[in-house]
Structure 1
């Protein structure tokens, strides 16, 4: 299978052995305490309401049969159907999928979307599969999780190593099982079969909206700022594209194989054209100097954007960071030890559950359009995305000012507070649970 640059970049970076599920549980517990809520709220939110493990037998091209393991987690459906991506990666594990489903719940709550959090994954190296094997894996996985998904239950989407082509196979399999077209059963699909304009660029565009707002709060002029980006897949490349359009100078980019650096600024349109050839990595770009991932973290830039995978900002890498803003385009890129160091250094962190929520927002728009069978123009979608991202940023920033805390704590408190209000309205929790007194 020939992978895209997104797939090559995002699937090959280690996660330093940290358990994201334990990290997110700890953050939830701290936020529940800080909000003055009863410990019962923590126990309601600390694990998914449903966790499915499936076996996925695939007949390989050489005639052998391989049985892959897949997961689907559904965290909470208090606000609406659960929603979240499907990743194909050899390091997928049950705790990672649980953590990602919780993050999806919080993202939707922060942006006031009528969705819960879901996430799926298959333990597989997609590079080792032929196109036929990949299609068989995709169709068999969706067949196995069909009983718990659907437009009013749980809505999958692309994630690491999956893309619109994979979504097309999956929705076709689901429709064949049901006997009719159900375009809203997943998002991120090809536009011709009900996908949304602007979805491919949505996460990166949302990242840039939050960077812009953070820069305003800090009195920074973006057109005089410098940026380094870790990861040049879909999210990293779109972030670079939109920052470049705002006049920001991107001086460094890294990927799975290395990185590039140019003090005068990288020609981003030329780099995007270069990696458009699926055989090229960003780190192969000839018009810049070579740089390692570790060197990139320590560059004297104004903004650092981790856009790869979990646990990249650690106790080893955080001390070297000189940026004023760290925009978490990836899910869970910062470990608790790394986060503490960032706080001590006074770095303004835009947390992942706010920063990269543009993807789920436009996925929500896609689901709405599928329900109406009426489709908006891209300009309208981008405008609605901006409104949602600004709403989320301002709500979190207001909580930060009110509680005199850091942005990550504020984001968790905003998300949890929103979920708790819905839980109380439905009678899931009692009034006594809303106070720890």
Structure 2
């Protein structure tokens, strides 16, 4: 999909096919195999990747995932997508991605630590604060980032303080940043606010009706934040159940219940519906905050929301995009809507590099300025290029990259 959208965006910009093909090539692909000591004393071999797509704007940036289905093709596509994402919101960073083929659910904490240290030993020469800055991703977290800093500092013979900026998404006590936990949701809230103000597609967030698919980090935090804006959340879901109440849900109660029971089943005074039904509810704003490919050509015509805020990665297919745009729906695409995470990651890196410590208010203010400026640029490009918001976001990124690149010229 990323390649298809890049194709459409570069077509609008009249770039030659040769130049686009050149841009799509990875700068570096690293595949490593390494043994890991298991708890029973045996050794098991693992395969990992670090893909570096583009560094025109700055050091490579992108997560490391631990998952049984990690493969070169997926990691390369995600690295390309990170190049677009950082450029779309004007960060001085490039695109990278990494992963190890493993099932972390079958590994002990000690085995995950051993695996992380072994992987970093293999890729330490290609990462670094000015080269490539990994971050958490699927089944990796701040604890794993802290281990990477520790291992990298030993290999490079640096103090922890000097090694800190090698990754972002660290724990607060180890150079992590305020605002990281809520960054994706907070960024989405700022994008939504600016888009409503600019397009007037609905009068205001206050009293608007919202359905949220997903109650994890992005969905749960977004629900909390947006309810403070006096929006009415009429539905929310986890992977198994969606709950609906047309008069609105008390989000604090819902989150408390989910934390206590691990589920939304049997939550009182609501109607249980499916995740599929949630997407088709009559509401002002739909927030897919869970899985990819949820809105497709099969259900796009049934989507009643006026605004779709993509906090998940790739929740809408290209075919669905066209159907929704033709019905004058406002899609706020993932590459913009969930960029709060990478923006605050950049601020974490910046603080580490400059030995600064910003408070929550400063992070919030800078995130708001950065992501709302990008929202205005992208909505303006949508009009000037007569295209979809998604393609406009890619145009915004590609224009920025082309100014610095020799081959991205028409």
- After the TM superposition, which of the residue ranges 392-401 and 218-227 deviates more from structure 2? 218-227
Could you tell me which residue of structure 1 aligns to residue 97 of structure 2?
119
Native 8 Å contact 2:202 2:284 kept in 1: no
User: Which residue in the other structure is 1:109 paired with?
Assistant: 87
User: Which residue matches 2:195?
Assistant: 214
Partner of 1:33: 11
Structure 1: any 5+ residue segments left out of the alignment? 1-22
| Residue 184 (structure 2) pairs with residue 203 (structure 1) | yes
1:285 & 1:174 partners in 2: Cα distance?
46
Quote the Cα distance in structure 1 between the aligned partners of 2:34 and 2:247. 50
Q: Which runs of 4+ in 1 moved over 6 A?
A: none
Alignment match, 1:18: none
Q: Deviations over 1:169-223 (max 9, x none)?
A: 2211111212222110000101111111111111110011111122221143211
* 1:160-239 mapped onto 2 (5 Å cutoff): 160-180=138-158, 181=160, 182-216=163-197, 217=199, 218-239=201-222
For residues 322 and 125 of structure 1, the distance between their equivalents in structure 2, rounded to whole angstroms, comes to 38
**Structure 2 stretches lacking a partner, 5+ long:** none
Secondary structure at the aligned position of 1:127 is classed as helix
**Whole-Å Cα distance in 2 between the matches of residues 190 and 100 of structure 1?**
24
Q: Determine the C-alpha separation between the residues in 1 that align with 2:134 and 2:25.
A: 19
Question: Deviation string for 1:80-105 (max 9, x for gaps)?
Answer: 10111112223322222112112211
CA contact (8 A) 2:64 2:136 kept: yes
**C-alpha displacement at 1:411, in angstroms?**
0.6
- 1:228 counterpart SS class: strand
Alignment partner, residue 404 of structure 2: 422
The alignment status of 1:434 with 2:409, answered yes or no, reads yes
Deviation at 1:285, TM superposition (A): 4.4
- Alignment match, 2:56: 78
Q: CA deviation at 1:261?
A: 2.0
Q: Secondary structure at the match of 1:349?
A: strand
Which 10-residue stretch deviates more, 370-379 or 141-150? 141-150
Aligned to 2:353: 371
User: Residues 225-264 of structure 1: matches in 2 within 5 Å?
Assistant: 225-264=208-247
Matched, 1:359 2:341: yes
Residue in structure 1 matched with residue 124 of structure 2 by the alignment? 146
Taking structure 2 as the reference length, the TM-score comes to 0.93
Point out the more displaced range, 323-332 or 264-273.
Answer: 264-273
Match of 2:393 among 411, 418, 427: 411
* Count of aligned residue pairs for this structure pair: 405
| CA distance 1:291–1:386, change in 2 (3 Å) | same
Note the alpha carbon deviations across 1:318-356, whole angstroms, 9 max, x for none.
Answer: 232111111111122222222222223221101111111
